[in-house]
Amino acid sequence: MKILHIVHQYAPDFVGGTELYTAKVAAEQVALGHEVAIYVPTPRQPENGAVRLEKSIEGGIEVYRAMVGPRSAGKIFAETFYGSSVVSGSFAQLLQVFRPDVAHVQHLMGVNLNVIHVLRLARVPYVVTLHDYWYGCANAQLLTNYDGTVCAGPNRLFTNCGRCALARSGRPDRLGAVLGPLFAYRQRLLRTVLAGAKQVIAPTLWVKRIYEEMGFKTDNFVHIPHGIALPETLIAEARTAAPALRQAQDARFVVAYVGGISEQKGLHTLIAAFNGLPADATLTIYGDLSKFPDYADLLRREIDHRGIQLAGRLPHDQIWQVMATADVVAMPTHWYEASPLTIDEVFAAGSPLLASDLGAMTEKIRHGVDGWLVPAGDVAAWGAALQMFYEDGGLSGRLREEIRPVVTLGEHVAQVMRVYATD
């Protein structure tokens, strides 16, 4: 089968959850004997204004990059709907060269909805995976720009969406009603994209529910949990070495965080709560501190406990040892995570999770069984939960014993391939 993945950004220009998912699924499909390509806009500048489509072979995957040049957030928003000649021309060119049997839309932000029109004209069926809430929320994360709170989705006149957009651009958000019709138009267009898909893959039932609440029809939605590639040797070595490594640490209680360093991840809540623990507890936070430097500086100022360390980025092959050795791994997120693969990685490493009682965490983590759920942003509640783990040295072990096997990447891709094959 010839499979074309369409994604809004890709390594090495960008590295995030959607990009990593696309790369791993594509690689697994190549390993199964399929011919796979990825189409993605790149911020590299096209020469002389000409339409340019650059092809490379990366791990057996054909990667086609449309050189759209640098774009502001406003331009990306506009080009999603009103088109980019580079994207329109290069995508039509790609279809003539590659001729896929099916297209898998990973994300369309800034790609240009014309690609869906081109697929329909070429009679290429397409599948969509929902990595976030972008089809219903221009912010993608259902977090407001004006006060940082979780949003329930567009109101009847979409005035809250207009307010959010103005706040993001630094303009008075009280004029949000002016932009309401634009965002209503945006959602009408995006509803047709999902309605026209062969099937829409929701990684959690939570995501499907949120789309239903935003007014989307979900008749063609299918729930397929994400899977992860399991480096079995690394994981086995990490789990075997964990007890001795943990015993050697000069701490009664060890907490780890591995992930993004941004405000919606709620690390300021975690740090504020951890500051109240005794001195023989440690919290190590791993993640890129350079992406949002102002927030990283805020976190440094918030630290008032000698056991808290901002350790920077962690090579992926080392996360297993960090997770396996921790008494608990924390996920203090403030937003509706759609289906964070970190949960599966932590469980694969054999550690329990202490996480926000929010979004997909409530579906993937069993409170009091294999993890513990705490109200998002509630410093007192987080502090009490951390204190409970600190005082009850056996709690982590009891939760660890109840962790279930995770879905593997191979199992996930097998389900995706069945979706491709459905009539």
Same domain, 221 and 297: no
Same domain, 129 and 261: no
Same domain, 249 and 358: yes
Same domain, 194 and 280: no
- How would residue 69 be classed by pLDDT, with cut points 50, 70 and 90? confident
Same domain, 14 and 74: yes
* pLDDT in the model for residue 168: 78
- How would residue 396 be classed by pLDDT, with cut points 50, 70 and 90? very high
Least confident stretch, 19-23, 168-172, 313-317, 325-329? 168-172
Section 4-10 average pLDDT: 95
Same domain, 210 and 335: no
* pLDDT in the model for residue 51: 62
Same domain, 414 and 292: no
How many structural domains does the chain have?
Answer: 2
Does residue 236 register a pLDDT over 80?
yes
- How would residue 85 be classed by pLDDT, with cut points 50, 70 and 90? confident
User: How far, in Å, CA of 204 to CA of 226, rounded?
Assistant: 8
Same domain, 206 and 283: no
What residues make up the domain containing 74? 2-227+410-421
Same domain, 8 and 152: yes
| Dihedral, 27, 56, 86, 16 alpha carbons, nearest 10 | 40
Whether the upstream peptide bond of residue 12 has omega within 30° of 0, thus cis, is yes
User: How far, in Å, CA of 197 to CA of 126, rounded?
Assistant: 5
30: CATH: 3.40.50.2000
Query: Is residue 407 classed exposed, middle or buried when 0-12, 13-18 and 19+ CB atoms within 10 A define those classes?
Result: middle
Same domain, 211 and 291: no
Residue with more model confidence, 145 or 322: 322
User: How far, in Å, CA of 46 to CA of 68, rounded?
Assistant: 6
* pLDDT in the model for residue 49: 60
Cα dihedral 345, 347, 351, 354 sign: positive
Same domain, 270 and 328: yes
Same domain, 300 and 370: yes
User: How far, in Å, CA of 23 to CA of 16, rounded?
Assistant: 11
Section 52-59 average pLDDT: 90
Strands 308-312 and 35-42: unpaired
* pLDDT in the model for residue 164: 87
